[in-house]
Structure 1
Amino acid sequence: MTLARPDWRDRLRAAIPTGLIVGAGGYVLILGLGFTSVPPLVSPALDSFDVVPPAPPPPPRVQPRKVETHRPRGAAAPPNIRSQATEVVAPPPMVVLPPVSPVVVAPVAGTGADPSQGASDRPGPGTGAGGIGNGTGSGGSGDGDGYGDETPPRRIKGRIKDSDYPEAAADAGASGTVQVRYFVNVDGRVSGCVVTRSSGNAALDETTCRLIEQRYRYDPSRDADGRPVRSIIVVNQDWVLERLPAERR
């Protein structure tokens, strides 16, 4: 059998598609070489650690077996003692304070009338209570009136009348002399009246001090500079009950 040789035209037609395919493959290969290469994957560093085996479980708890005994059991403890507040109330203490005697004061030490100095013709609580002595206040001889450079107080108002006789004392037929001591203040008023010698009848004693404090007013004692000072006076009040004839009652 005789083979016919292809014509050059046929060869050309067959070579064109082959060349196109080869050119396209080369172009694609050139484009692929221009891409950036993909970096290789780097695996992270591995951490190392020790593997501890789990702890063994605790041994099982052995429950002790109850043993029956025939010994007697003890009694329970006694209850605690309970504290209870006391029901006894103590009464308040009875404190009786002694009476306070008035204290004689003066603006200047060593001046004024002192109930424990001077002289008197009547007995009293001091060595010179009441009256006007003839010494300087020491109890001895002298030419003063007992007040030194001071002027004595002078009563300018107030008196006790016969009509002031207490009815209780009159009904009881009581009479007598009451000796009292009181203060004459710088304003001329009287305060602090006390009975230094009783008449023997409480109504007469009380009435004497009450009326003196209510009614008596004085020109107060004054010092050498003319300033009023407090002073003390001791006086006697006589209460005399007049007896009326029986036919005139």
Structure 2
Amino acid sequence: MAEQATSYSTTKKRPNPWVIALILLIHIGILYVLARSLAPNAVSNVERSVVSAFTVTVTAPPEETPVVEPEPDEGAQGDPGEEAVPQPVTAPTPRRQLREDRPVPRASSTGSATTSGATQSGEGTGAAGSGTGTGAGRGGGGQGGVAATKPVLTRSISDVSAFPIPPGGRQARIGKSVIVRLMVSAEGRVTACSVYRASPFPETDAVVCRLSYDQIRFEPARDAAGNPVAAPFYYQQRFFN
């Protein structure tokens, strides 16, 4: 029994390396915590120096410069061409001579013939002397005299009841008027009628013209010799109902 105890006490056990590393890490951690709490600035400087020692600088590859191909030479400009001169063109000479108008003989200024165009009295058409035709230039018995006086109204329209009732009643026509142009014959009667200045009621204006032939009478106009002649007259019809 004594020999077994002596052999056990003399036997040495080899320490485990992992346990030793763990113990070292624990001590380092404790020292780091104490250093951070007691001297934080010094620890920060040490950390920056350690980190900078392990910093790897990566350099980017240089950019490639694009190669620009030269443009092809288009060639030099050619010499300008000569200016073209148009060839003169002349009209051909006509084979036939153009017809020339013969000169008109001068009119005779004297003569005694009694034909048309005579300067004295004659029987031809358009004679400058006296004649007996209608509208003679100097004197004659035809109807062609100019009125020296105007026709005088002797009777106007009296049958106003023939006027149609306009839209809106007779009250709408009061104060309005129409002017008609009448042609008065040498007998003092109306031979033609046209509306010269219309009223707002065209149907009434038409009745005025129709009644003028039967109801309106005139003393006819007269020329310088006192003869009755035809002449125009502007008649105004006012509406009172």
Settle same-fold status: TM greater than 0.5.
Answer: no
**Greater percentage in helix:** 2
If the TM-score is normalised by the length of the shorter chain, which range does it land in? Answer: 0.3 to 0.5
Give me the TM-score of the superposition, normalised by structure 1: 0.35
Give me the TM-score of the superposition, normalised by structure 2: 0.36
